[in-house]
Amino acid sequence: MAWRTGALQGVSSLGTVSLGGIFLKTAQPAPVGSMVDLLIVVSPGNEVPARAIVCNARSGGMGVKFFRMLPEDRSRLNKFLNEQLKAAEIQSGPLTTNAARRPPMSNVVPGKNSTRVAASDSHRNVAAEANVSEEELRRCLTLARTGTHYQLLEIPSGSCKDQVKRAFYHLARKFHPDRHMGRPDWKEMLQQVMGAATVAYETLTDDEDRFRYDKRLASRNPTEAQESIDDCVKIAAACLHDQNLAGYIFWMRKCVHHAPAVAKYRVSLASGLMQNEGQRWEAVQQFEKAIELDPFDSAAYLQFGELYEQMRLPWRARALYLKVLEMDPGHSMAMARIARLVPDERKKPASKIARIFSTKNNSRA
C-alpha cells in the first residue's frame, strides 16, 4: 500500500484492520490528524484509491480511518481485506460498508496491538482532556452545527491553505475522540465536531469548492458586519436551545460588541447574565444601558424587574413595573407582579441615619 501526506510518503504493509480503518506499518508515521492519500494494490493492475485521516501514531506505524470512498472502491477493498483475513495475513475484523461515510472515530486499531497503543497514548489523552472543558466542546459543537467553516476553524476568510491545514490539525488535536477515551459521554459530540471540521477542511482546501462556498456566504447578507451579527445571533439561539448558557452569553457579548447601540442585544445578554448570581450586577448595567437606548421597551422593564426580585430588591422592581403601567395602564403582567410583592415582608430597608435615630428614640424610651 502506497501513501502520501505533505512531504511524507512511503510504501507500507498492512497491520491490523478495524471497522472503517487499518494500521499501516511504517518507520516514519504521519502526525495525528494528517490527511493521507492511499493507493491500495489489491492485485497486479488492480488498485483502490482512498483518503484517510491519521487517528493514531506510534513507533512502527499509524492507524488511519477511511472516508470519502466510492462505493465500487469500497466493495473491492472489502473483498480484498476479507481475503487477507481468511489467509491470516492480517488481523481483526472486516471493513463495514458504511464505515467510509462516518467521520473519524476512536478505536482505530483494535486487536493485538491496541493495548500497547492505548497505553503509549494514555498520558497524551489525559493531557488533552485536561485542556478541553465541556463548555469549550459544546461551544465548538454549536459552531459545527450553525457556524461557518471559518468560524469553526477559527480563521479569517482570507486564510491560505496552510493556515486552514494548521487550524484543522489544531482542532483535531483538541477534539479527536481518540484523545478523550476516558469520556465516553463526549463521544457523539466529538464525532460531530470532527465530522464538521473534516468537511470544512476539504471545502476550504479545494479551490472550486471554496469559491462556491464563499460565494454562497457572500450572498446571504448585505454587509460583512451584518453577516457577523446575524451569525452570532443564530449561534446564540442554538446555544440557548442546547441549554448552553455560557455559550449563549459568549455569543450575545459578540452581538453587543458589533452593535453596541442596539438595545435588544443588551436585553438578551442581560437575560443570560441574570441566570448566574455572580453576574447579576453586570446584568443590571446591561438593562440600564438598554433602557437608556430604548426607554419604551416594556419587555426590558419587566425582565429588569424580575432581576431585581431575584436580587431581593423588590422596591426597585416595583418602580420598574410602575413604569410599564405608565406606558400601558392595562398591562396585566405588570399589575400581577406588583400584586405579588408583599410590602410587609419585602420593604425597602431604613437608611443608616433613620436606624440611628430609631436606636436613640428606643434608648430614651
Q: What are residue 61's phi and psi, to 5 degrees?
A: 165, -175
Reduce the DSSP state of residue 342 to 3 states and report it. Answer: coil
- What confidence category does residue 208 fall into, taking pLDDT thresholds of 50, 70 and 90? confident
Torsion, CA 336, CA 342, CA 346, CA 351, rounded to 10 = 100
The stretch 210-230 carries a mean pLDDT of: 68
- End-to-end, the C-alpha distance of the chain in Å comes to 101
- Greater confidence (201 vs 50) lies with 201
Of residues 342 and 139, more confidently modeled? 139
Q: Of 25-34, 153-162, 295-304, where does the model show the most confidence? A: 295-304
- Give residue 123's pLDDT: 42
C-alpha 321/C-alpha 326 separation (Å) is 9
Q: What percent of the chain has pLDDT over 90?
A: 19
| Residue 154 neighbours by CB distance under 10 Å | 13
Compare 94 and 266 and report the one with higher pLDDT: 266
Region 128-136 average pLDDT: 65
Share of the chain above pLDDT 70, in %: 70
User: What is the per-residue pLDDT for 179?
Assistant: 82
Give 303-344 pLDDT, tens digit per residue.
999 999 999 999 999 999 999 999 899 999 999 999 988 654
What does each C-alpha distance from 119 to 91, 124, 126, 174, 232 come to in angstroms?
20, 10, 11, 19, 41
Maximum mean pLDDT: which of 155-164, 219-228, 268-277: 268-277
Q: Where are the alpha helices (DSSP H) in the chain?
A: 71-86, 114-131, 134-146, 149-153, 161-175, 187-204, 207-218, 224-241, 245-258, 263-273, 280-293, 298-310, 314-327, 332-340, 352-364
**Per-residue pLDDT tens digits for 6-44:** 667 777 666 565 545 677 888 888 877 777 778 777 676
Of residues 341 and 227, the one with the higher pLDDT is 341
Residue 275: phi, psi to the nearest 5? -75, -20
Model confidence pLDDT, tens digit, residues 182-194:
888 888 888 888 8
d(CA 344, CA 304): 22
The answer to whether the beta carbons of residues 272 and 287 sit under 8 Å apart is: no
pLDDT band (50, 70, 90) for residue 89 = low
Sign (positive or negative) of CA dihedral 120, 126, 132, 134? positive
C-alpha–C-alpha distance, residues 189 and 99, integer Å: 18
Phi-psi region of 223 (alpha: psi -120 to 50; beta: other; left: phi over 0): beta
Number of Cα atoms under 13 Å in the Cβ half of residue 317: 25
Quote the pLDDT of residue 68. Answer: 57
Report the distance separating Cα 166 and Cα 57, nearest Å. 18
Q: Which letter, b or e, does each residue of 24-46 get, where b requires 16 or more Cβ atoms within 10 Å of its Cβ?
A: bebeebbebbbbbebebebeeee
Q: Is the pTM of this model over 0.75?
A: no
Instruction: Yes or no: say if 48 and 73 are a contact pair by the CB < 8 Å rule.
Output: yes
Query: Is 318 in contact with 327 (CB distance < 8 Å)?
Result: no
Stretch (H or E) spanning 6? none
Predicted confidence at residue 285, as pLDDT, reads: 94
At residue 182, the pLDDT reads 84
User: Could you give the CA distance from residue 12 to residue 2 in angstroms, rounded to a whole number?
Assistant: 6
